[in-house]
Amino acid sequence: MPATIRDVARESGVHISTVSRTFSAPHLVNPDTRTRVLACAEQLGYRPNRAARALITGRTFNVGLIVADIANPFFPPLIKAAESQARQRDYHIFVADSNEDAAVEEDLVRALAKQVDGILLCSPRMSNSLIELLSRDVPLVVVNRQITGLPTVVMDVAQGAGLAIDHLSGLGHRRIGLVAGPRGSWTSKEIRRSAALAARAGGAELTVFGPNPPTEHGGAAVAEQVLRSGVSAVLAYNDLMAIGLIEGLHAQGARVPADISVVGIDDIALSRLIHPKLTTVATPAAAAGRAAVDMLLAHGDDRRTTAHASLQTELVIRDSTGPGPDPHSHADPGNAAAAAPEAVASYAKE
């Protein structure tokens, strides 16, 4: 029913190849012919069939975008930026949600592979080796994970976590908790690594809780354990967890930041809206989305270019952090000792 290239050809009295060239290689056709063809096309409402084009050129002008959880407010700005950037280049974006599940993620990559020119893998939960394997089938750009040999875009969350810990130890906190993210997360490992370093440098002790689901609920669930452990400040894997944690702490009767300080990571819109306003590490999600699309598309034909982009993060100090406890009245050491094994146990788990 819709007009095809043949209809336009017939109407404008030229061969279909000329019509084709009018669209895909305008400089090869006589200006007069071109305007005539364009007029007919316009009048017939002709739009090239992308499936047919894809069939022969092998390029679909689509890109896939796989995220762990669309409902996590960290992702929408990234998706939005990627979509807009892609659209500017006449690309469209398939968005898929892996539900934080590595197996689903793999399925999605495989399913999408045939109908896209490349895939943006955001905060993947798969193993590196699987990702490398899949990248042989379809161009991949990995966001929020460093993998040598593949193009990647990461937020320098290690730097950010370091700043956060420095901030806390600077406020006098000597026992700091880290609420880890989900199991497969590279970011979570990075944060832990960097936080541990910074804690040591600042003369503080770091206790790790997790892994946990990276949601508000995941944060709330660990609140009691955090409180029992006797830490006076906590860095959470992301804002959502930090917010959940604060809720949980309030529910347990603790005050933030008077009794315990909390720092998040991401700086989602939400973190300015809760009470207390969240101190957090701002990550440039939109910039990452744009960079990833650029990288995928620049990439072009020469597959083996493996660029790496590392985006700066920034500590945003708001109201959820305050001075550490008075050194003479701090928590019962027995309690503290009890907490240590937990930390070790969860450390070993991942």
In the complex, the residues that contact DNA under the rule CB under 7 A are 4-6, 13-18, 20-21, 23-25, 27-34, 46-49, 52-53, 55-57
Bridging pattern class, strands 279-282 and 175-179: unpaired
Q: Which residue matches tokens 């600042």?
A: 202
Q: What are the backbone angles phi and psi of residue 206, rounded to the nearest 5°?
A: -110, 130
> Residue 79 or residue 227: which is nearer to a copy of itself going by CB?
79
Question: Omega of the bond prior to 211 within 30 degrees of 0, cis?
Answer: yes
In angstroms, what CA-CA distances link 45 with 3, 4, 21, 259? 7, 9, 17, 67
> Residue 15 or residue 200: which is nearer to DNA going by CB?
15
CB of 32 to DNA, least distance (A): 7
In angstroms, what CA-CA distances link 150 with 142, 153, 285, 309? 7, 10, 20, 11
Do residues 147 and 130 lie in contact, with contact meaning Cβ atoms separated by under 8 Å? no
Do residues 237 and 192 lie in contact, with contact meaning Cβ atoms separated by under 8 Å? no
CB of 126 to DNA, least distance (A): 25
Residue 6 binding result from DNA, a copy of itself, none, given CB thresholds of 5 to 8 Å by partner type = DNA
Residue 70 binding result from a copy of itself, DNA, none, given CB thresholds of 5 to 8 Å by partner type = a copy of itself
> Residue 270 or residue 331: which is nearer to a copy of itself going by CB?
270
CB of 20 to DNA, least distance (A): 3
Residue 230 binding result from a copy of itself, DNA, none, given CB thresholds of 5 to 8 Å by partner type = none
CB of 12 to DNA, least distance (A): 9
Q: What is the DSSP string of 175-228?
A: EEEEE---TT-HHHHHHHHHHHHHHHHTT-EEEEE----SSHHHHHHTHHHHHH
> Residue 8 or residue 180: which is nearer to DNA going by CB?
8
> Residue 30 or residue 49: which is nearer to a copy of itself going by CB?
49
> Residue 47 or residue 87: which is nearer to DNA going by CB?
47
Residue 60 binding result from DNA, a copy of itself, none, given CB thresholds of 5 to 8 Å by partner type = a copy of itself
Question: Omega of the bond prior to 73 within 30 degrees of 0, cis?
Answer: no
Residue 25 binding result from a copy of itself, DNA, none, given CB thresholds of 5 to 8 Å by partner type = DNA
Evaluated on CA atoms 110, 112, 116, 117, the torsion sign reads negative
Which residues here bind a copy of itself, judged by CB under 8 A?
2, 45, 47-52, 54-55, 60, 62, 69-71, 73, 75-77, 79-80, 83-84, 87, 92-97, 99, 110-115, 137, 216, 243, 247, 269-270, 273-275
